[in-house]
Amino acid sequence: MAIIEIYDLIMHYLVIIFATNDFAPWIRGVLGGLVIGAVFGGALVMVYLERKFLGDMQSRIGPNRVGGRFGVLQLIADAIKLFTKEDIIPAKADKWLFIGAPIVALTSGFLMVAVIPFDLLVIKGNEYAVAVSRMDISILYLEAVSGLAIFATFMAGWGSSSKYAVLAAFRNVAKMIGYEIPLGITVISVAVMAHSLDIVEIVEAQSSIWFIIAQPLGFVVFFIALLADVGRIPFDQTEAEEELVAGWATEYSGMRWGLAFFAEYLHAVVGSFIVTLIFLGGWNGLPIVGNLYIPGIFWVIAKTIMVMMLFIWIRAALPRYRIDQVIDIGWKVLIPLALLNLVWSTIIGLLWA
């Protein structure tokens, strides 16, 4: 219990600092840095988990040399390798687009992190969300910012002046147009049911019943659209190795490629957070633990890791769709289902209110 008490103490002080708001700018900056660091770490954890669990599922061992039996330092070794590699910019590339693309991709990921709440603390009757920033429209903000990632892929695809890259960029844009719509509609359904666009409110609305139970169809549509959005199997056509070499990152090398790769995982991690928050009840714990007090942040992280594992599991279990089939599914299946779910959630939401 000691750890939990320490955690509570730290959180209380942080919240007091927040609440007084006197030295807010730099403290907020520090806290923002901490959260970004934590999510950065989360992406690293996902890369490691992916290697290890994918290995297990495919009856391989996975990383097992660097840093002991479990290869925990493999990522550091890879990072050193990427940093020491030659940074090649193709002669015919559009230099600024080429350089800018990974930066835009990462920026979009980090901007999303800003509004992700990890917990909600109630101190002296006041509510404080543990987040870098709490917005009234945070769910819409997330949608908008996640759409920025598409610029990164298109900048990279166009700027590389490579046919593979530009084909991948075309695919990505086509896919994104088809899948942002069901994603958006499902998010609206969630907002309708929670009567709020604020993620904190949405999570609080799930204190009695999680939205995965209230609108299972919405969860399925959102999850599939999210898979397509972050470009993981079975929707990883944009980097289908056997067709387009490395997709839009074909011409990248060294750490620039590393950034592009990392941005994808960052999006996957943030995507897992969003699923956790808007469908899996966020920091609302399971009733099975009884009276034992478990901090909300623990639930958020545990559920997020579960969602990540689901991503990895799906990757191990499924082959890849063809791009025309992906577009078909987006427009002909997911959008009607998302609309149906919107109707459903509106009715339920009204009854609930």
Partner 1 sequence: MTHEATQITSPTKPSEILLHLGPQHPLQPGPFLLDLKIEGETIREAELKIGYIHKGMEKVFEDRTYLQILPLTDRICYLASNSNNDVYCRGVEELLGIEPTERAKYLRVLTNELCRLQSHLLGIGEYATDVGFLTMFIYMVREREGVVSLLEAITGSRLNHNYARFGGVANDLPPGYKEMALKTLGELKKQVKSHDEMLSSDSIYLRRTKGVGVLTAKEAGELGVAGPPLRAAGVEYDLRRMEPYLVYDDLDFKVITQTDGDVFSRVKVRLLEILESIYIIEQCLDQMPSGPYKQDVTPYITRPKPGEVYARIEDPRGEMGMYIISDGSDKPYRFRIRGPAFATAQALPPLLVGGYVADVAAIAASMDSCTSEVDR
* Distance separating alpha carbons of residues 236 and 323, to the nearest angstrom: 9
Instruction: Report the residue number, 153 or 237, with the smaller CB distance to partner 1.
Output: 237
- Tell which positions 94-133 bind partner 1, by CB under 8 A: none
CB 277 within 8 A of CB 222: no
Question: For residue 120, which phi and psi values (nearest 5 degrees)?
Answer: -130, 120
Q: How far is the CB of 309 from partner 1 (least distance, A)?
A: 16
Instruction: Provide the minimum distance between the beta carbon of 246 and partner 1 in the complex, in angstroms, as a whole number.
Output: 9
Asked if 320 interacts with partner 1 (CB under 8 A), we say yes
Stretch 240-279 residues interacting with partner 1 (CB under 8 A): 240-245
Nearer to partner 1, 205 or 233 (CB): 233
Single residue of 22, 68, 319, 351 touching partner 1 by CB under 8 A? 319
Contacts of 297 (CB under 8 A, 6+ apart): 7, 118, 119, 130, 283
The amino acid that residue 78 corresponds to is D
DSSP tag of 85: S
Which DSSP helix (H) or strand (E) runs through 129? strand 126-129
Nearest distance in Å: CB 238, partner 1:
11
Neighbouring CB atoms inside 10 A of 26's CB total 8
Residue 39's contacts (CB-CB under 8 Å, 6 or more residues apart) are: 110, 113, 116, 266, 269, 270, 273
Stretch touching partner 1 by CB under 8 A, among 34-42, 94-102, 233-241, 345-353: 233-241
Q: Which among 173, 175, 184 has a CA at the least distance from the CA of 140?
A: 184
Of 144 and 245, the one with the shorter C-beta distance to partner 1 is: 245
Instruction: Decide whether 60 or 81 has the Cβ nearer to partner 1.
Output: 60
The region of 1-9, 209-217, 300-308, 317-325 touching partner 1 under the rule CB under 8 A is 317-325
Cβ closest to partner 1, residue 117 vs residue 157: 157
Footprint on residues 36-75 left by partner 1 (CB under 8 A): 57-60
CB of residue 82 vs partner 1: minimum separation in angstroms? 20
Reduced to 3 states (helix: H, G, I; strand: E, B; else coil), residue 122 is: strand
Q: In the complex, what is the shortest distance from the CB of residue 241 to partner 1, in angstroms, rounded to a whole number?
A: 5
Distance of CA 240 to the CA centre of its chain: 21
20 or 58: whose CB is closer to partner 1? Answer: 58
Closest listed residue to residue 298, CA positions, set 309, 282, 314: 282
For residue 316, state whether it binds partner 1 (rule: CB under 8 A).
yes
**Which of 10, 72, 318, 343 is close enough to bind partner 1 by CB under 8 A?**
318
| Window 153-182: contact mask with partner 1 (x via CB under 8 A) | ----------xx--x--xx-----------
Question: Which one among 71, 178, 234, 296 touches partner 1, defined by CB under 8 A?
Answer: 234
Provide the greatest CA pair distance for the chain. 64
Asked if residue 197 lies in contact with residue 188, where contact means CB atoms within 8 angstroms, the answer is no
Show the tokens assigned to 115: 């509004």
- Output 73 or 245, the one with its CB closest to partner 1: 245
> Among residues 196, 237, 341, 345, which is the contact residue for partner 1, using CB under 8 A?
237
What is the smallest separation between the CB atom of 210 and partner 1, expressed in angstroms? Answer: 28
Radius of gyration of the chain (CA): 21
Question: For residue 234, is the peptide bond before it cis, meaning its omega torsion is within 30 degrees of 0?
Answer: yes
Contact call for residue 28 and partner 1 (CB under 8 A): no
User: Among positive and negative, which fits the CA dihedral 192, 352, 296, 314?
Assistant: negative
CA 12, distance to chain mean position in Å, is 28
Binding site for partner 1 (CB under 8 A): 57-60, 163-164, 167, 170-171, 233-234, 236-237, 240-245, 316-325
